[in-house]
Structure 1
């Protein structure tokens, strides 16, 4: 089974180079005998599969060297194929094969030295061993060892470079995926912010417009002055909403919103607009007000705005709405409470769910996006928010916003 999966182009390249090497070695092999031809073919085959199966290539190379030594043949040109095989063991082989390649380099240098300087003189009958023979053997051992180990080291260096490139490629891919995930998260957060802002601005203004329009329709015949005043309020609210929408669109075009944002001082104007729409709002405040950061003030303003909008749309407009601020050293506790429109049946009706068109259903359908937006705004500044109807027929929005001093930068 091959140890590496390589492309067809690389395998074809290896085969072509092996064939070229074989053609270069063929004239030298033809000057010998059959053993040279067999050894040459084995070395060519080892070169052809050196990247596809480096373990097989190493084994075939050893087999070729064994055939050559068994026939007592001298060094030939095809023996240089060993360098390519050793290179591949460290460059493309596994952990075990890599070290077997190094062992083969050392063992091959020693065996080649003994074969050339000891065995061949003995079995070839070329004479006795002399001191010069041993000097030559030492030189051959050092030279062959350096050459074979150099080929193995070159493969190891190539492997390190390839692995380094692969690690960098994976890091770059991971960085791209992380950047894409961060971009998608940023886009999602921006979409949620836009949805909250559009809902806060448009929903509140439309609720006021609808309430005023209904009042003007009923008062048109009997109280023309009241109808005219209601129409004037509708026009003012619509102009304000149009201006707010234009501000939001400008922020989207320029990415950075430099437009002024609502603060706590704007709550009086907000409540005044709701009162003008026919809602009885009673503002209560206890404790010493703390200085809040800009983001915290926006959160308080938008929560009050959305809670009053829900009270105007889904609550009993004949009952008063309580807006309560309880200031402490840790921040402000905000509560907006309004009686639900279908609470006329009393607490028992709320508890038993006998009202088919109950305020709970209205809140869960018409105001579910607003409640989600209020909760998100509170959480973004480190606070919390709950919004639920009570058994007494009163819907309460309770938020806790921590204190954070306004930045002076």
Structure 2
């Protein structure tokens, strides 16, 4: 029944209604002076009743935004009192247009249709009431002529009043549609912003995983080797420590670059390309795993940057999984076809880690492939774990 309305709007409605009352009531009193009512006597009593009716009308307009239902009820009560007193339509009845506008603009669905019913019902009642007021002036005519005159007057009055009320109610309905469209648009923008934020969080998580997980896998493998070689082969332990330091520095540099992108939001910045694959394979070799790489056929020209980044990240994660969960060397095959590139990475599954995996890495690889417009499958086939990806090249390839 009572809506939450900002104080500024409520004050504006009250002030506007007071001004409407101060303008319309004196004019209505002057226009009806001497014939204010058909049966209220003396005149001062009729003038007082007129003031009450006008105040009630504009009082309903004052609370129309706050409670359209109560305002509609108050307007009906004032209209009934006006007809009960025998008052003719007056200028203060303009407040009814404000109330009808409010019922369709801010009222509930039920109040909306109550307002629509009031347009038709109120227009018919007002038109008939106006026609009946003409009976006194037609008393000298015959019955047939009187009925004809009253019917014509009623029809014209009903048509005019209903048309005017429909305009006010329809304007409120239009306002309602516009407001609903604005709310829908705001909700859509909020949903798009939330989706963009979620996509950004996923991208950050994927990039952090790609950068950190691979480097940590290399560091762990080198640290384990250095621990076993520390006494028997100190030179191998020293090489492992050098590799650990180099890998950690490279990871730190990549993390700093990622954090710079997040802080300044000035684009993606430099990203790994096919030229960086040899460095990736070198890190894997230093960790004790030999990647047996075959490229057939070779790339036809310069592949798109987004495809190069996707190929690098997928290979990086696949080799990281091989370091963490596999044993022995890794087979890496790249096929650069005219319309696509196919990636296939195969490694043996370590018996003691057969149930491991299935974390963020596989999800990240699939997301990389999907963002590039392709697809990726990963899973065990007997004693082997195979990663297979197909990424489109050319017009079908997605932007990085």
Distance 1:61 1:341 in 2: 93
2:261–2:267 CA contact under 8 A, matched in 1: yes
Within a 5 Å distance, the mapping from 1:303-314 to structure 2 comes to 303-314=314-325
Taking a change above 3 Å as real, the CA distance of residues 272 and 34 of structure 1, as seen in their structure-2 partners, is same
Instruction: Choose which of 309, 313, 332 in structure 2 pairs with 1:298.
Output: 309
Quick check: 1:394 aligned with 2:384?
Answer: yes
Q: Are residues 330 and 7 of structure 1, via their aligned partners in 2, closer, same or farther at CA, if it must alter by over 3 Å?
A: closer
CA-CA distance at 1:29 after TM superposition: 6.7
Counterpart secondary structure, 1:208: helix
1:296 Cα deviation after fit: 1.3
Deviation for aligned residue 1:261: 0.7
What SS does structure 1 have at the residue aligned with 2:295? strand
CA contact (8 A) 1:54 1:88 kept: no
TM-score in terms of structure 2 length: 0.72
- Tell me, yes or no, if structure 1 residue 256 matches structure 2 residue 256: no
Match of 2:375 among 384, 393, 403: 384
Give the number of equivalent residue pairs: 354
1:81 and 1:35 mapped to 2: Cα distance? 22
| Gap runs ≥5 in structure 1 | 69-75, 123-127, 343-357
Deviations 1:215-240 (A, max 9, x none): 11111112111111111111111111
Task: Give the 3 Å change call, closer, same or farther, for CA 258–52 of structure 1 in structure 2.
Answer: closer
- Alignment-derived partner of residue 356 in structure 2: 362
Aligned to 1:223: 233
State the alpha-carbon separation in 2 of the partners of residues 31 and 94 from structure 1.
30
Q: CA deviation at 1:63?
A: 5.8
Change (3 A) 1:87 1:341: closer
Question: Which residues in structure 2 correspond to 1:30-109 (within 5 Å)?
Answer: 48=56, 51-53=71-73, 56-57=76-77, 60=80, 64=84, 68=86, 80=90, 83=93, 87=97, 91=101, 94-104=115-125, 106-109=127-130
Deviates more, 1:25-34 or 1:382-391: 25-34
The structure-2 alpha-carbon separation of the partners of 1:338 and 1:86, relative to structure 1 and needing over 3 Å to count, comes to: closer
Separation in 1, partners of 2:258, 2:95: 69
Conserved in 2, the CA contact under 8 Å of 1:90 and 1:153? no
By how many angstroms is 1:260 displaced?
1.4
- Contact between 1:39 and 1:64, CA under 8 Å: does it hold in 2? no
CA distance 1:31–1:244, change in 2 (3 Å): closer
Partner of 1:183: 193
1:315-330 to 2 correspondences below 5 Å: 315-316=326-327, 319-330=328-339
**What is the match of residue 133 of structure 2?**
112
Q: Is this contact kept in 2: 1:47–1:84, CA < 8 A?
A: no
Deviation for aligned residue 1:141: 6.3
TM-score normalized with structure 1 length: 0.71
Deviation at 1:157, TM superposition (A): 4.0
Residues 328-364 of structure 1 deviation map (CA, whole Å, 9 limit, x = unaligned)? 233111111110111xxxxxxxxxxxxxxx4342113
- Answer yes or no: is the 8 Å Cα contact 1:335–1:397 preserved in 2: yes
Residue 6 to residue 47, structure 1, CA distance change in 2 (3 Å): farther
Query: Displacement, 1:32?
Result: 5.4
Instruction: Identify which of 227, 230, 244 aligns with 1:234.
Output: 244
How far does residue 178 in structure 1 lie from its aligned partner after superposition?
A: 1.1
1:338 corresponds to? 347
